Amino acid sequence: MIRAVVCGAAGRMGGRIVSMVHEADDFALAGAVDRSTHPSLGKDAGELAGVGKIGVSIAGDLHSVVKGSQVIFDFTTPQAAITHLAIAAQAKVPMVLGTTGFSSADLNGIRELSAAIPCVLSPNMSIGVNVLFKVLAEIASTLGSDYDIEIFETHHRFKKDAPSGTALRMAAVIAGALGRELDKYAIYGRKGMVGDRGKEEIAIHALRAGDVVGEHTVVFGGIGERIEVTHRAHSRDNFARGALRAARWVIGRPPGLYDMQDVLGLKGRG
Ligand code: NAD
């Protein structure tokens, strides 16, 4: 049994991970953590996640539950995730980091901390999206620079960061395949007399509406035709399932920062 701790256990993703960990044959919930001011502190994590009492209450601090655990999931906020990673690194417990919205300084900090433990970081743990990252690189490099790249994503009204980490990763993958520097060519929305579209622009747009779990479309717009590639998440379960797969994979790996492409064996596959 893999003894797992879930950070952000009172949240949308945390709740799905708690219930999947509880239902999986090879996992046991060793701890559930949320922010120390959360109204659900002390409540049973299983009851909160809708799977009935499992005897693990929501703690307000990772320190109190990290001992003896074998993997830590984090779906919280960038600031909390970095604090949790520092605790995991000190306790030498591998981590699956699904939180999004990190700055480049945050990412440098994550890289440094994961010199002590194996850590899987991915803005999207769904298998479909990770296969799509591969396919997008292939489409972009085959089409070349005559096609305009527009990415748009839709998420629920509660999402904190924009654009989504997944949209940013898609843009990075395409920029890499085209040999463009993303920081130089990315634009985020348009307004006013913007003039003709810059040939090398990679445009990213974020929609926020109701309870949409997550949708991403990449448009490759040419003269006389366009390709649109869309991924739609029907529920959060595909992210949670991917996170459990990452946890099984990360235990026992050498320290370092990994992503879902490593977990799924997609790296370097042509
Ligand atoms: P949410 O707001 O429902 O849940 C976040 C939880 O983290 C909340 O319960 C909050 O109280 C808790 N939290 C905040 N500060 C904390 C702290 N200091 N210590 C412990 N817990 C703390 O959000 P969500 O929709 O579950 O998403 C959480 C994160 O996961 C976001 O960054 C989101 O973009 C990301 N996400 C990633 C994937 C993926 O596949 N990688 C999929 C969906 C969402």
pLDDT given for residue 267 in this prediction: 81
Cα angle, residue 177 at apex, residues 227 and 77 outer, rounded to 5°: 90
Contact 215, 206 (CB under 8 A): no
Let me know the angle formed at the C-alpha of 115 by 114 and 116, rounded to the nearest 5 degrees. 85
pLDDT for 54-75, tens place per residue? 999 999 999 999 999 999 999 9
Instruction: Please provide the DSSP assignment of 237-264 as one string.
Output: HHHHHHHHHHHHHHTTPPSEEE-HHHHT
Sorted by sequence, the CB contacts under 8 Å of residue 112 that are 6+ apart come out as none
pLDDT band at 269 (very low <50, low <70, confident <90, very high): low
In this model, does residue 258 exceed pLDDT 60?
yes
Per residue in 14-26, pLDDT (tens digit) is 999 999 999 999 9
**What percent of the chain stands above pLDDT 90?**
98
Average pLDDT score over residue span 123-143:
95
Per the prediction, the chain carries an average pLDDT of: 97
CA of 52 to the centre of ligand 1 (A): 22
Tell me how far the alpha carbon of residue 76 lies from the centroid of ligand 1, in angstroms: 3
Q: Which residue has its alpha carbon closest to ligand 1 atom 17?
A: 35
Of all protein residues, whose CA lies closest to atom 4 belonging to ligand 1? 11
Q: How far is the CA of 200 from the centre of ligand 1 (A)?
A: 34
Please name which of 94, 146, 137 lies closest in space to residue 261, comparing C-alpha atoms: 137
Answer for the pair 208, 159: CB distance below 8 angstroms, yes or no: yes
Starting from the edge strand earliest in sequence, which strands make up the sheet with 256-258, in order?
Answer: 58-59, 27-33, 2-7, 71-74, 95-97, 118-121, 256-258
Q: Which residues are catalytic?
A: 155, 159
Mean pLDDT calculated for residue range 168-195: 97
- Atom 16, ligand 1: residue with shortest CA distance: 35
Token couple for 170 = 């898609």
Asked if residue 254 has pLDDT above 60, the reply is yes
Residue percentage of the chain with pLDDT more than 70:
99
Q: Is the pLDDT of residue 270 over 80?
A: no
Q: Ligand 1: residues within 6 Å at CB? A: 7-8, 10-14, 33-35, 38, 75-77, 80, 98-101, 122-125, 239
State how far the Cα of 153 lies from the Cα of 216, in Å rounded to an integer: 4
Of all protein residues, whose CA lies closest to atom 37 belonging to ligand 1?
A: 98
Q: What is the pLDDT of residues 87-127, one digit of tens each?
A: 999 999 999 999 999 999 999 999 999 999 999 999 999 99
Collapsed DSSP state (helix, strand, coil) of residue 167: helix
